[in-house]
Amino acid sequence: MSLKIFPSILSADLSNLREEVKKLDLAGADSIHIDVMDGCFVPNLTFGPPVIASIRKYTDLPFDVHLMIQEPSRYIKEYVDAGADYITVHLESETHIVSLLDKIRNYGVKAGISIVPSTTCNDLEYIMDHIDVILIMTVNPGFSGQKFLHSQLPKIHKVKKMIGTKNIKIFVDGGINGDTVKFIRHSGVDAVISGSYIFSSSDYQSNINTLKMSLDKLG
């Protein structure tokens, strides 16, 4: 199975997102990753539902929306209505995390849980029947362009073992480029999220293809 590439538009030209999304579609992206930050849960402020809705009409690619916000349960419907196909939240963002995950799925959207570098795999055990995606952060969330944390590699293998035969996808986000992608070889990852690397030149297709070829060879 070919591993998928999800460009993160946090690193795109934010003044021209309509064209950026179109270019990613033509370049062979498998999904658009959208980092939503509220300036409270993480120290940055980015997109909200109006921005997501405004670019939804320019591509049929799935929207993978990563909510790095406090109390995301208050806003799930807005992100569903804006066009999210996946909604990923953090364990630490809500007290009643199972209710939140079930709420996402009840809208017909895939529910994901993100684990930051300081979160252990043990924290996933009681929610495994309520999620479709586990997003493993290989950087500390909040800003693009950070370096890949090699300390998180054992976590990827542990999560894969925990999943077993369950239909749960593993996404990896943080510091993914043509060099670091080799470190997730044989790890069972389904998709990688890359921002700074893909947008480091105007040839998005070449950068996406480099990642895909590397992943196919190493996976």
Backbone phi and psi for residue 191, each to the nearest 5 degrees, phi listed first: -155, 150
Task: Judge whether 28 is annotated as a binding position.
Answer: no
Phi-psi region of 108 (alpha: psi -120 to 50; beta: other; left: phi over 0): left
Catalytic residue among 38, 64, 132, 173: 173
Task: Judge whether 108 is annotated as a binding position.
Answer: no
CA atoms within 13 A on the CB side of 164: 6
Task: Judge whether 129 is annotated as a binding position.
Answer: no
Task: Judge whether 30 is annotated as a binding position.
Answer: no
Task: Judge whether 48 is annotated as a binding position.
Answer: no
Task: Judge whether 206 is annotated as a binding position.
Answer: no
Strand order in 191-194's β-sheet? 4-7, 191-194, 169-173, 133-137, 110-115, 86-90, 63-68, 32-37
Examine the residue annotation and report whether 129 is marked as an active-site residue of this protein: no
Task: Judge whether 183 is annotated as a binding position.
Answer: no
Examine the residue annotation and report whether 173 is marked as an active-site residue of this protein: yes
List b or e across 155-194, with b for residues whose CB sees 16 or more CB atoms inside 10 angstroms. Answer: bbeebbeebeeeebbbbbbbbbbeebbebbeebebebbbb
Task: Judge whether 8 is annotated as a binding position.
Answer: yes
Residue 36 · residue 50 · CB < 8 Å = no
Catalytic residue among 30, 35, 38, 64: 35
Return the structure tokens found at 102.
Answer: 């079930």
Task: Judge whether 164 is annotated as a binding position.
Answer: no
Task: Judge whether 114 is annotated as a binding position.
Answer: no
Binding residues for substrate: 8, 66, 142-145, 173-175, 195-196
Binding-site residues for a divalent metal cation sit at 33, 35, 66, 173
Catalogue the active-site residues: 35, 173
State the binding site.
8, 33, 35, 66, 142-145, 173-175, 195-196
